[in-house]
Copies of this chain bind each other. A is one copy, B any other.
Amino acid sequence: MVAQDLTVSIDAMGGDAGPGVVVAALARSVLRHPKVNYLLHGDEAVLKPLVARRSKLEGRVEIRHAPERVRMEEKPSQALRRGRNTSMWHAIESVAKGEAQVAISAGNTGALMAMSMFQLHTIEGIDRPAIASVWPTKRGQTVVLDVGANVESDAQQLADFAVMGEAFARAVLGLERPSVGLLNVGAEDVKGHDAVKGAAQILRNVKLPMEFAGFVEGDDIAEGTVDVVVTDGFTGNIALKTAEGTAKLVVHFLRSALKRSLLGRLGAVLASGALNALRRKLDPRTSNGGIFLGLAGVVVKSHGSTDALGFACALDMAIDMAKAGVIPKIIADHAEVARLVAETHADSGAAI
C-alpha cells in the first residue's frame, strides 16, 4: 500500500444547509479517510467555532478565509465576474494551484461549472465537460452522463462523453472493459436524432478499452444493461429526476398500501428490518455527488439540499476520484477518438 497524502478542497459555504452540514460531514470523513487532509474555504468567523467543537478534526482541517459566497440563484456569468473572493472560487483555486487534488461544493451548479472551466480548463480537444452520476441498478451500479452540464450536444460531444464515462468506470468502479450504451428511443439503427446516430457511428469504429453496446432505452438504466449510459444533459437531467421521483412515488404507494389494513400494518412491523434496508438502498444521499468530467482537474458537486450523511458520501466520491487518476485515462482515450474523427473527415473529403 502506498501512503496517500491527499488533500480535498471544500467550499464550506455552498448548499442550502450551510457550513454546519459540511463540518458535520467532515467529522465522518476524517474517520473513514485517515490519510486525507481538508482545506475548508469560507467565512472564518463561522467556520472556526464549528471546527473547534469537534476534536477529531484537529490537525486534519485547515480553514482558509473567503469573505464572500456564491448565491444559489446567481447566473454563472455573474458569479464568474464578481466571484473572485467567494469560497467557491477559492476552493477550485486550491486545485488549480496544486495544493489540493479535488474540489467539492454543494453550491450553484452552473457557477461551479463556469468557475471550474475558467480556472482548471477543459482537457485539450474536449469542448464541454459533462456531469456524471452513479445510479443503483439491478446488477450493481451504472454511470450516467451528462446529467445536466449541457442542454444540447452534438455527435462528437456525445462520443467524448462516452470516453469520459468509460474512463471513469474503469478508474473509479474498477471495471476492466466497461460496456457503454447511447440512450435513445429504440435499439434500431434508424432511431433517434442526428447527434445520437452520429455518435454511434464514431463509437462503433473507435478502438478503446470499452465494449460499445449501441443504443439503449430508458428502462435499461435501472436494468443495468450497460455500465455507462451516455446522453445529452437535457435528457440525462430529466431522466435522473424522473427516476428519483418514481422511486419516491413507489415508496409512497407502498407505505399507503401497508397502512390501509391491520394485517398490512402488522406485516410492516415484522418486516421493518427489510423495509429499512430498502429505504437505505433507495436513499438518494448514498449516491450523492455529480462528477465533473472533461476538466484538467477533479471537481465534485454535492446536491444542494443534502445533509451531513449525503455530503460525506460526496466526499467519499471526491476522494475516490482523486485517487483513481481518471484524467490521464480520459486524455489518452480522447486522443484515439479525435484521431478517428479526423480520419473519417479526411475519408469523406477524399470521397467527394
Contact = CB atoms under 8 A, between A and B. Distances in A.
A155 to B, nearest CB: 14
Contact of A221 (B231, B245, B267): B245
A62 to B, nearest CB: 34
- Chain A interface SS verdict (over half): helix
Contacts of A233: 185
Interface string A36-75: 0000000000000000000000000000000000000101
B278 A253 contact: yes
Nearest to A147: B185
A78 to B, nearest CB: 11
Nearest to A276: B257
Interface in A203-218: 217-218
A281 to B, nearest CB: 5
Interface in A261-290: 261, 263-264, 266-275, 277-278, 281-282
Contact of A234 (B193, B246, B266, B271): B193
A271 B73 CA distance: 46
A341 to B, nearest CB: 23
A241 interface: yes
A150 B68 CA distance: 46
A285 to B, nearest CB: 15
A239 interface: yes
Contacts of A245: 218-223, 243
B75 A193 contact: no
Contacts of A75: 190
A138 interface: yes
A221 B242 contact: yes
A151 interface: yes
Given A239-B238, A258-B271, A192 B151 contact: yes
Interface in A222-254: 222-223, 231, 233-235, 237-254
A290 B237 CA distance: 24
A152 interface: yes
A219 to B, nearest CB: 3
A148 interface: yes
A153 B281 CA distance: 37
Contacts of A275: 257
4 tightest Cβ-Cβ pairs between the two chains A and B: A267-B271, A218-B241, A219-B245, A267-B270
7 contacts: A185-B234, A223-B245, A231-B238, A242-B246, A243-B245, A263-B271, A263-B273
Interface of A: 73, 75, 136-138, 148, 151-152, 183-185, 188, 190-193, 217-223, 231, 233-235, 237-254, 257-258, 260-261, 263-264, 266-275, 277-278, 281-282
